[in-house]
Structure formats: structure tokens, C-alpha cells
Structure 1
């Protein structure tokens, strides 16, 4: 089969690799019909190469048609149309029984002290071959795949794999109150959907910041007030001005480790990426090399006794955060990988009708063949050609 493979920092290529096969009775094989590029894939593309090997298959936002199932898989069968959650969870362990599917004890990567295995996402999370490919082996298929109906193109359902469920969790964990004010840092795909979901959940006002014109315009047409941080010296100050000096009730931090405005940390990330793998892993594991600009903006913009929901991915172990300010303000912090199956049943009914209340149909800007995936990564990383979200078609 053909698959998108990591070949080095800033380098991916589509290669011919072996077809996946059933290895465990709880496996399934899915023929991929659509698969998206995530902002987290850019962390692998740019920063976290020390945890990858050349030839690793990337991608964790896939959907397709079931081709084959193992003997212990009875919830799906060949011919079913399914979305595959990005985290791999068993559905029956102590963590899964409590809805913490991103911490599944069956698939936890205990060797590295990490949570549930993820598709296409480094040795830290199991080094499981990803979904930017023609076919995908799905472990724990007795629980994970989400069956979806016919009647809409893939893109209506595809983002249950990550974007929609991650954004839904981000909004739920932001303690949004009816009529309250929500501030979102970053208007990539997660920020876009988090802002729309915040409105759907009853926020009276949603404000967001970014600087990419196409992202700002997309947010505006979906009812979000925007702050262009290239035109404002003090984004938290602007939020304070818009909220009578109080700050936002809820903040969703949707940028993560590659935020703008932190040149020292940006240099440290790039320097770490050029080290031999063993030294680079030590630098990432022990040093605070995340870019903290978006997180500092979130902390400064939230009101006293407000909530910050962190959905942007961070990786540094020694990142400095303003604990005195957070303690003084009495801020609640919630964060972590999305527990996809926890939210899927709530989100799916919003996708099956014709009204599209979450605006899912207004997210994809580029649909490209899998063979053009390297070009897709380049324009997504550089924010060229109005690129907000790419879907690849194997």
C-alpha cells in the first residue's frame, strides 16, 4: 500500500509499504477513504523527530470502510463506515470504565510513563502505524471505531477522530456558563471548532486571537469576535477592555508548544531538534523548550476564579508557569488528551442532519490526493494558500 512516512525533521514522503494484517483477535483492517493532517502532526514534522524512526507512518485522523475484523470483534463488520479515534483504548479497564479513554491502562505506554497509545505518534505513545495511508490496522477494534451513517461526505464525520471531540472536551472543561465570555487562543482547526462549540454550548460571547487572515475571516463568519495579535500590542489587555476589566470567564488554549512570540524557546526547540536523538530526547525530557506565549496569554486573560482549558499540546518538563499569579487569581486548570469515545455519542447527533449546527462543513480548505501529502504538510506548516485544514484522499 501507499503511506505517508516520516523521513527526518521537515521531511515526509509517500512510500510503498507492506499492507497491514490482523495480528490480534481484537484487530480490524480499515480501508481509508479520508485522513486529515493535524496540528499535532506538525510537532512531529518540526520538533519531535528524536522519538521517530525513518519510515514511521504518520496520521491520527482517519476514517474509512471496514475490510476485515478479528475473531473477537463483533461491534463492526466488513462494509461498515467508521471513524477511528486517535487514541487507542480498550473500553473495559479501570480508566476506560470511568471515561478516561486517553489514559487506557490496556494500551498505556508504561515504558515511557505515558498514557494510551496513539495512532501515528512517536515511540512515546506506542509507535503505532498511523492513518495517512491506504489501509490501517486498528487495535482494540472491539471498542474503538465509531460507526457513522451514509448520507453526508466524509468530512462531516471525519473530525470525530480528533478535532470535534478534542474541541468538545476543551469547551466542556472550560466551565462555560450560559451568557458567559469565552476567549480562545489560536484559530487553527481546534481553535476554530472550540470557538463554535463554545457558542453552541451557550456562551454569550466568544473572542479569539490569531494573526493569519484566512483563520480570522473563518472565525468571523462563524460568529466569533477576533483579535489580530499582529495589530495589538497587548492581547490580554484587549480582552480586559472587551470585558469591562474583568477578563474572560473561560479560556481555551488551543495553540500549544509552537506558539509565536517566544524567540528563545523557539531557538531551543530548533537546537534540540538538531542534536543526535539520545541527546535531543534528554533535552526535551528535562528542559523547558515549549514556546509559552499562548499559555501566558491565556493565564493573563482569564478572570479571577475563572477556568483555563488547555488543549494545545506541550512537551517540556521544566516549562515555567506563573504559579503565584494563578494561585492569587484562583484559576482552575483542566488539560489533557481528548477522551474521544467519551464525547462521540454527544457530538454525532449534531452531524447527521442537514443543519450543521457546529459549522463542520466550513473547516476544510484543501482536499488533496495522498500522493500530494508532502506538499500538504508544507503549505499547512507555512500557512500558505489560505490553508486551515487539509484532508487527504488515499
Structure 2
């Protein structure tokens, strides 16, 4: 089959790789009908995710048609149309039973590597390094799905692939980011990053009752898209974000701040973001957490900082004194997608939201390497890429 494979920093290729096969009785094989490039895939593309190996198949936003099932897979049938969560979960362990599927104790065969880096291991993820299981990803013609009775959700025929594809990751992630904020009537929520997850967080914040959302970015197309949702927008290249948020909130700060950027904050944003980039380039640091620093300072006393942007290692110069002295709450996670699927599918079905609004570019797997480059450079108004194998 054809698939997108990783061969080093900035080197994604469309190649022929072996077709997946049933390896466990709980597996399913799906024929991929739509897949997407996620913002966190760009961390792989830019060489920031460790334990990648040449030829790894990438991608974790995937849906398609079931074409084969293991003997123990009982909840699906061949021909079903499904969305596949990026988190791989057994459904039976301590964490899965509590709805924390992204912390599954059984699905990361590379658990010991993760323990050495992070102190404990999260769940296995599709297409996201040999720290997280080394599973083949879904930017391919076919995908093996372990624990098929736990992960994939069957979707109604009346909904298009593009309406439901983002249930695999960015819609649940953005919704979780807003849910973490414990939004009350009248709240102001600030969102850093108007990429795909940020766009979902903006709309989710309004769905959950926010009175005002302030969206921070510099890419014109992304800011315009945020404005169509009703957000007030700030361009960090044109104005001081802290000063403006304080002005807009009468000196109090936002009730909650969402970091939807993570480890690749724009090095042009400030002096500290430039220093972060130099440290990473010189192997003196692992991440560029400018946005997190700013979100902490812009959050009101006893507010919440919600973190869904991906970080990988150790963060420098985090103003923790500000956080503790002002009573901030931090909430963060890799999204336990399975927890959110039923309610978010219902929101799409009844027309509260159509996540396909975020798509700007479409193409084939063969066009995948060029689409990665365009997405990484934010070229040609690129906000979200969908490929149809």
C-alpha cells in the first residue's frame, strides 16, 4: 500500500510499505477514506519528537471502512464506516475504567522508554514515535486498529467524512481544552494559537457558555477564521498581548487561558521565544514555551490555564511563582478521545457545529509531502489539510 513515511527532519515521503494484517484477535483493518495532517505532526516533521525511525508511517487523524476483523472484535462489522481515535486504549485497565483512555496502562509496548523520559507512560498513539508504541499511523491506504471494540466509533451515513474526521483528535482536543476551563456565564477565555485545535477550542468555549473569547495569532487567515466564530482577535506581531488582555479585562486578566500552541511557539513573538529557539537548536533545551509563560501572566487570579499544545520534555523559565502566589489551576492532557466521542458526535449530528469549516487544503497521499511543507510554512492560507487515499 501507499503511505506517508518519516525519514528525518523535513523529510516526509509517499512510499510503498507492506499492507497491515490482523495481529491480535481484537484488531480491525480499515481502508482509509480520509486522513489529516495534525499540528502535532509538524513536531515530527520538524524533528522535535524523539524515537522516530526511518520509514515510520505517520498520521493519527484517520477514518475509513472496516475491511477485516479479528475473531474477538464483536462491536463492528465489515463495511462499517468508522472514525479512529488517536489514543489506543484497552478499555479494561485502571485508567480506561475511569475514562482516562490516553493513560491506558496496556497499549504502549515501549512503556519503559516513556518511563525513563516522563516518569510513567501514557497510552500508545498511532504514528507518533517509538516512545508511544511505534504503531503505524493512518496517513496510508490501510490502517491496523488494535482494540477495535474500544476505539473506533461508527458514524451515521448522512454525515460526510469531512464532518466527522476530526472526531479522531482536534475536535475532542479543542473541546477538552474549553471544558478544562470550567466556563461560567460571563467568562472571558483567551486562546493562544488559531490553528485547527485553537479553532475548535474557540467554538467549544462558546458552546460551553463563554461570553467572550480572545484569540491570539498572527496568521491573517487564522485570525479571520476565529473572527467568524465571534472571537476578538489579537495579532502578537502588532501589539503587546499582555497589555491588551489586561486592557480588555479591566486589569483582571482572562478567566481562563488556553495554550493550543505547545512546543513550537513563534520565535519572532518576543525575546524569550527567540532565546528558546536558540536553546533548542544548541541542544540546551527541549521545548519553546513562550506561550505558556504568557498565558500564566495573562490569567486572572484563581483562574485556569488549560494546556493542550504538545510539549515533550523540560521547560525553562516558567513563572511558577506567579502561578502559586495567584492561585492558578493547571489542567492538561493528551486527550482521552473515547471519553468525548458520543457527545461530540451528537453535537455534529444535531447541527451545533460542523468541524469541516477548518479545512483549507485537500489532496492525495502522493501530494502529502508538499502539503506537509505548505502546512508547516502556513503557506497559501493553509489551516488544515485533509487527504483522501
- Identify whether the pair has TM-score above 0.5, normalized to the shorter chain: yes
Distance in 2 between the 1:235 and 1:358 partners? Answer: 29
Cα pair 2:74 2:149 within 8 Å, conserved: yes
Find the counterpart in structure 1 of residue 118 from structure 2.
Answer: none
* Alignment correspondent of 2:102: 102
Structure 1: stretches of 5+ with no match in the other structure: 273-286
Residue-by-residue CA offset, 1:81-138 (whole Å, 9 max, x unaligned): 0000001001111100001100001114421222000000001111100000000000
How far 1:50 moved relative to its partner? 4.1
1:1-394 equivalences in 2 (<5 Å)? 1-48=1-48, 50-108=50-108, 109-112=110-113, 113=115, 114-232=121-239, 234-260=240-266, 261=269, 262-272=273-283, 288-353=285-350, 355=351, 357-394=352-389
Contact between 1:2 and 1:134, CA under 8 Å: does it hold in 2? yes
Kindly indicate whether the alpha-carbon contact (under 8 Å) linking 1:288 and 1:320 is maintained by their aligned counterparts in 2.
no
Q: 2:315 & 2:309 partners in 1: Cα distance?
A: 17
TM (norm. structure 2) is 0.95
Cα distance, 1:359 vs structure 2? 4.2
**Helix, strand or coil: the match of 1:380?**
helix
Specify whether residues 50 and 249 from structure 1 end up closer, same or farther in structure 2 by C-alpha distance, changes over 3 A only.
Answer: closer
The answer as to whether partners of 2:107 and 2:124 remain within 8 angstroms in 1 is yes
Structure 2, unaligned stretches of length 5 or more? 116-120
The DSSP-based 3-state class of the residue aligned with 2:6 is strand
Partners of 2:195 and 2:383 within 8 A in 1: yes
Tell whether the 8 Å contact from 1:62 to 1:158 is kept in structure 2 after alignment.
yes
Q: How many angstroms does 1:199 deviate by?
A: 0.4
In structure 2, what is the Cα distance between the partners aligned to 1:21 and 1:110? 23
Asked if the contact 1:265–1:291 (Cα under 8 Å) also holds between the matched residues in 2, the reply is yes
Secondary structure of the corresponding residue to residue 304 of structure 2: strand
Measured in 1, the distance between the counterparts of 2:258 and 2:329 equals 12
> Is contact 1:87–1:117 with CA below 8 Å preserved after alignment?
yes
Deviation at 1:321, TM superposition (A): 1.3
Shift, 1:268, TM fit: 2.9
Aligned-partner Cα distance in 2 for 1:264–1:131 = 35
Q: What number of residue pairs does the alignment pair up?
A: 377
Aligned to 2:82, the other structure's residue is in SS state: strand
User: What TM-score, normalized to structure 1?
Assistant: 0.94
Contact 2:163/2:354 (CA < 8 Å) preserved in 1? no
